[in-house]
Amino acid sequence: MRMVLFNKILIVLLILAGISVSLSGVNASENSCIDCHKTLTPFIEEQKHFNQIRIQHLERNVTCSLECHEDRIRQLATSNYQQWQESLHAVKGVTCDACHGGDPKQATKEKAHTFKNTTDPESPVYYTNVPKTCGRCHPNELDNFENSTHYKKLESLQLAPTCTTCHHPHTFTVLNPEDFRNSCGTCHSVYKNVAPFDIPLKAEDMLRKVNKLKFNIDNAQQDIYYAKTNGTDVGLAETYTNNAIQTYKNLAPMWHEFNLTNFEDQINLANTEVKKAEDIVKPAPLPTRTGSPQVPGFIGLTGLISLMAVFYILRKK
């Protein structure tokens, strides 16, 4: 037992001295823990504990990786790669170099990472450069954004929302209606004194109207399908519906202009086209029949006679 303990202490001291140790079936230099733990000393209890864990890892030839810490990393969601991997960019094959630069074909980290730091004003992902970077793949969104008050303030004051304000980096998710109250409310609030203060509620309402428009278009397409199977001429109805669909597709890039008045006008225009289509393919409801006046029945007559009798008795009294 003493010999085993002596050997373990000897291993610790050799590691702390920065000497590459060769154990049976173990390559210590390949264990990434050493890079962080080599400065630990065995003189306090917590450091002894870490050294003991490291020795056990070395003996089992286990390196620090997601093998042990995957759940913890997922909970913290701190891995940019993991967030990207679950995004639509990953599905479409848009890799890191598309935004950050660099050369992914290089074999070494130093040669591959030939990009500027995100805090460098010349970096493609620097705050004010983000719109141009995103615009390489999203030109329609960029055109609309450049016409917005947000972009003008970003250019002049360098203090305004940019693409990654709403579409968080590496996840690139599209906001839901309920997200706008917090996202837009970061600036448009009485606390930040950025008017108009009701923008978060209006933005939330606009996106709900977009979802309702999509619902109306889907219903119109179903009604056109059934009308067509019944022999109805649906050519004009299809034209109206296609006009609404085209307007609906244009709403996403148009949103980035942040002109909510014009945006709502476009939604109303599309809904008008849908209604014209529905008027063609959806049969008008049958008029409601008005029933003829009913003659009081036996029970009604009995009640009426009883009421008259009560009035007669009261008058005699």
Rg of the chain over Cα atoms, rounded to whole angstroms, equals 36
Quick check: helix, strand or coil at residue 27? Answer: strand
The confidence band for 24, taking pLDDT boundaries of 50, 70 and 90, is: very low
Partner residues linked to 26 by β-bridges: 23
Mean pLDDT of 136-155: 93
Q: Is pLDDT at 71 greater than 60 in this prediction?
A: no
Which tokens in the block code for residue 72? 């913890």
Band of residue 166 on the pLDDT scale cut at 50, 70, 90 = confident
pLDDT at residue 66 above 50?
A: no
At 310, the pLDDT band (50, 70, 90 cuts) reads low
How high is the pLDDT of residue 103? Answer: 87
Better-predicted residue by pLDDT, 6 or 156: 156
Q: Which residues contact 277 (CB under 8 A, 6 or more apart)?
A: 220, 223, 224, 236, 237, 238, 240, 241, 244
What pLDDT shows up at residue 214?
96
Provide mean pLDDT across the span 292-313.
61
Q: How far is CA 27 from CA 4, 32, 150, in A?
A: 20, 11, 56
How far is it, in rounded angstroms, from Cα 202 to Cα 192?
Answer: 18
Q: Which of 226, 223, 262, 221 is nearest to 244 (CA)?
A: 221
Q: What is the mean pLDDT of the chain?
A: 77
Identify the pLDDT of residue 54: 66
Q: What percent of the chain has pLDDT over 90?
A: 33
Q: Which amino acid type is present at position 259? A: N
pLDDT tens, residue by residue, 215-242: 999 999 999 999 999 999 999 999 999 9
Query: According to the model, what pLDDT value does residue 181 have?
Result: 78
Q: Taking the model in full, what pTM does it have?
A: 0.60
Within 101-169, residue ranges assigned H as helices are 109-112, 130-135, 139-146, 149-156, 163-166
Of the ranges 161-165, 169-173, 244-248, 312-316, which one carries the lowest mean pLDDT score? Answer: 312-316
Tell me the pairing of strands 22-23 and 26-27: antiparallel
Categorize the per-residue pLDDT at 245 as very low, low, confident or very high, splitting at 50, 70 and 90.
very high
* pLDDT for position 191: 82
Q: Is the pLDDT score of 74 beyond 50?
A: no
Residues 259-275: what's their mean pLDDT? 96
Longest dimension (CA), the chain: 127
Give the per-residue pLDDT at 205: 93
Q: Report whether pLDDT(261) > 70.
A: yes
pLDDT range class, residue 187, cuts 50, 70, 90? confident
Among candidates 174, 173, 172, which has minimal Cα distance to 96? 172
Task: Band the pLDDT of 169: cuts 50, 70, 90.
Answer: confident
Lowest mean pLDDT among 177-191, 192-206, 271-285: 177-191
